[in-house]
Structure 1
Amino acid sequence: MDKVTLKARGISVSLDTTVGHIADMVVEDGGRQLRPLHRAPWVGAPRDTLPADLPEGTVRLSGDFLCAPFSRSDVEEAPLHGWPANSAWDVTESSAVDGGWRAVFRLRRKVMGASVDKILTLRDGHAFLYQEHVFSGGHGAISVAHHPMTAMTDGGRLAFSPKRFAASPTDPLEPDPTRGRFLLAYPGRTSDLGHFPAAGGGTLDLTDYRMDDRREDFVTLVEADHGGPGWTALARRAEDDLVLVLKNPAELPVTMLWFSNGGRDYAPWSGRHLGVLGIEDGRTAVGHAASIGDNWLTREGVATAFALGEGSSVSFRHVIGALPLSGTEPPQEVTTADGRMRLSGGGPAREVPFDSDFLRIGQAAAG
């Protein structure tokens, strides 16, 4: 694996440059090492032991990566989740900055004619990875999403910034019972995240990740208009930590949750992909063609792609962090201001260092 590691005081991040996936992220706090991101159990296995048609992004499935497009590449030929998730990136800059480290990576391939840069920044004493992606030039439009994955050995509890509603697609990820299983209703919809329609009747709580629920499920949460950062907080029980994922809703208006807990029986998943949750913030529907056309989200007034153009650029930012768990529940409110993040509700209130200008809340995204 070609790996580049960035470090600042109390945090390190390694990027697998062969596919642009974050191979590892370590936050040091009070003598503990917190590792918020997941790596698939087959990563590093001999290639000939895996299915021959598996995309490289699945072969090396790790941490977080850029999807462009999200899901099917059915406009411009590319593997699942596009070339940014499946092909090589080059380091173009990497150096110390005031109070931290900054590195820039460029995708060797182009996406819809656009060059793509990945900018990673670490700050001394901050428990967060600050990411920005920039598309320069190109034509047409592109859907995008981050794909951070975490994993739990004993489940966890979730909390979110205000959402308008949650909805599942028309079809489940694994409709064939000989290959896998699911628990949510497809399609399903609710404005109460604690009560999502279940496949067998009744409801399931999207805020409670239970290890005995063997399933492969997918649901999209649409951000409400609340004026703050979009955020997801996951209190992992056994790991005794809090995983935080933040975005600017004007840039990335949806959060897609992928519950992957032993719900696929075929290789390479083979029932061993356990306790995994994808927290996938995006500007997308499912598939490139669907995202740039009329779809169920655009009919709800939700943008699902960025417009590209020669001589112009578009960018979006994202944050992933980890903190020791305070209490047993995730916070119910997350606010950022004056170089701090404040977490309250669900346990004792606390503040931690945070670049409160990074997400540029209040600025509209183009495209």
Structure 2
Amino acid sequence: MTISTIKAKGISVSLDLTVGHIADMVVEHGGRRLKPLHRAPWVDTGEALPKDLPQGTVRLSGDFLCAPFSRSDVEEAPLHGWPANSAWDVTESGATEDGWRAVFRLRHKVMGASIDKIFTLRHDHPFLYQEHVFSGGSGAISVAHHPMTVMASGGRLAFSRKRFAATPSDPLEPDPARGRFLLAYPARAVDLSHFPAAGGGTLDLTEYRMDDRREDFVTLVEADHGGPGWTALARQAEEDLVLVLKNPTELPVTMLWLSNGGRDYAPWSGRHLGVLGIEDGRAAVGHAASIGDNWLKREGVATAFALGEGRSISFRHVIGALPQSGGQPPQDITAADGRMRLAAGGSTREVPFDSAFLRIGRPVAG
């Protein structure tokens, strides 16, 4: 195992170079040390794991790049592709005038493209700024980030404006002998607080309850609001606010993975508790589905980037954390003039933020 750690004032991030997963992220803010990201309970314990597990599941941590998202059924690769399952090299890492910048390169190529992962930290900014760059290649690729957070006693969620939420045709765990789910499949709702439940009635997607043992997956489609796409999670026991931001033109969907003791087989074994994946992507489920006809494309949503010799594509993403007591997420998030403004209950909070990083309003190729 090889870990590469980068630091700036108030923040450190460690990348597991064996699989490209963030092994740790620590934000020091307001006299506290916040750890917004999850690491699976079996990682580095030495316990015997099923032999057919992808390396990305063996070392499941933090956040990682999926390319493709889910099934690799066009070019042979493990679940979520080589970027989530194989080695990365450090090609550049060093202090900058205002923080730290590191560049990592995937040893594998994906659809013939080389992939660089760029991490930027800024002094006193409680955020990791990420960019992925695909150079060359051919065909098309679906992509997604896969940040995972974890809660001891649940939390409350808020989002930038979405057109609707929808579940796929089939649940993640349809066999009751192996696991369980709570949402209806397939189903759709405009009101995220009233999503159809498997047993009738509705469930609130803005509330993560620890007594709901489940393995659920739902896709949120961004509305055309002209600002950053964001997810904010107020973790109750942790007394903090986890923030995940994107450019909706680059990554038009946010896929939520609710993993709360809903799988009974190894290595999950009912112990993967309080985990929420906030998976911003340009993808349907599976590579072939993403580049072919799919339900999101019929809704006018892009589900892949086009690759090409002599061209490159890139997309950006931000993960952060702030101390917070009270348990309610912001109602609105805006960014301008080097600040992020979080509005809640008639009051506004501001923190340092690279407001130009997400390139809102920039046209996207592919």
Instruction: State TM-score, norm by structure 1.
Output: 0.99
SS at match of 1:57: helix
CA distance in 2, matches of 1:185, 1:365: 34
TM-superposed deviation, 1:30 = 2.1
The aligned amino acid for 1:8 is A
Q: Map 1:316-355; keep pairs closer than 5 Å.
A: 316-346=315-345, 348-355=347-354
Query: Bigger CA drift: 158-167 or 339-348?
Result: 339-348
Report if aligned partners of 1:196, 1:204 keep a CA contact under 8 Å in 2.
yes
Report if aligned partners of 1:36, 1:243 keep a CA contact under 8 Å in 2.
yes
Residue number in structure 2 paired with 1:22: 22
CA distance in 2, matches of 1:27, 1:154: 21
Q: Map 1:161-180; keep pairs closer than 5 Å.
A: 161-180=160-179
Please tell me the root mean square deviation across aligned C-alpha atoms, in Å: 0.8
Q: Map 1:195-214; keep pairs closer than 5 Å.
A: 195-214=194-213
Residue number in structure 1 paired with 2:121: 122
Q: Deviations over 1:291-323 (max 9, x none)?
A: 000100000000000000000000000000000
Report if aligned partners of 2:247, 2:316 keep a CA contact under 8 Å in 1.
yes
SS at match of 2:83: helix
CA distance in 2, matches of 1:197, 1:233: 22
Q: Map 1:176-255; keep pairs closer than 5 Å.
A: 176-255=175-254
Q: Map 1:55-74; keep pairs closer than 5 Å.
A: 55-74=54-73
The aligned amino acid for 2:44 is G
Report if aligned partners of 2:67, 2:83 keep a CA contact under 8 Å in 1.
yes
Residue number in structure 2 paired with 1:43: 43
SS at match of 2:359: coil
CA distance in 1, matches of 2:340, 2:31: 22
> Does 2:22 correspond to 1:5?
no
> Does 2:98 correspond to 1:99?
yes
Q: Deviations over 1:90-142 (max 9, x none)?
A: 00000111210000000000000000000000000000000000000000000
Report if aligned partners of 2:239, 2:326 keep a CA contact under 8 Å in 1.
no
Residue number in structure 2 paired with 1:273: 272
CA distance in 2, matches of 1:122, 1:365: 24
CA distance in 2, matches of 1:157, 1:348: 18
Gaps of 5+ in 1: none
SS at match of 1:93: strand
The aligned amino acid for 1:14 is S
CA distance in 1, matches of 2:362, 2:289: 26
Q: Aligned residues: percent identity?
A: 83
SS at match of 1:290: helix
CA distance in 2, matches of 1:94, 1:261: 37
Report if aligned partners of 1:107, 1:115 keep a CA contact under 8 Å in 2.
yes
CA distance in 1, matches of 2:193, 2:88: 40
Query: Bigger CA drift: 324-333 or 205-214?
Result: 324-333
TM-superposed deviation, 1:173 = 0.1
CA distance in 2, matches of 1:328, 1:256: 23
SS at match of 1:58: helix
Gaps of 5+ in 2: none
SS at match of 2:295: coil
CA distance in 2, matches of 1:198, 1:366: 38
Residue number in structure 1 paired with 2:296: 297
TM-superposed deviation, 1:326 = 4.6
TM-superposed deviation, 1:327 = 2.9
The aligned amino acid for 1:88 is A
Cα separation, partners in 2 of 1:154 and 1:29, compared to 1, 3 Å: same
Report if aligned partners of 2:155, 2:327 keep a CA contact under 8 Å in 1.
no
TM-superposed deviation, 1:26 = 0.2
Q: Deviations over 1:51-107 (max 9, x none)?
A: 000000000000000000000000000000000000000000001112100000000
Cα separation, partners in 2 of 1:9 and 1:131, compared to 1, 3 Å: same
Moved over 4 A (4+): none
Report if aligned partners of 1:330, 1:347 keep a CA contact under 8 Å in 2.
no
The aligned amino acid for 1:79 is P
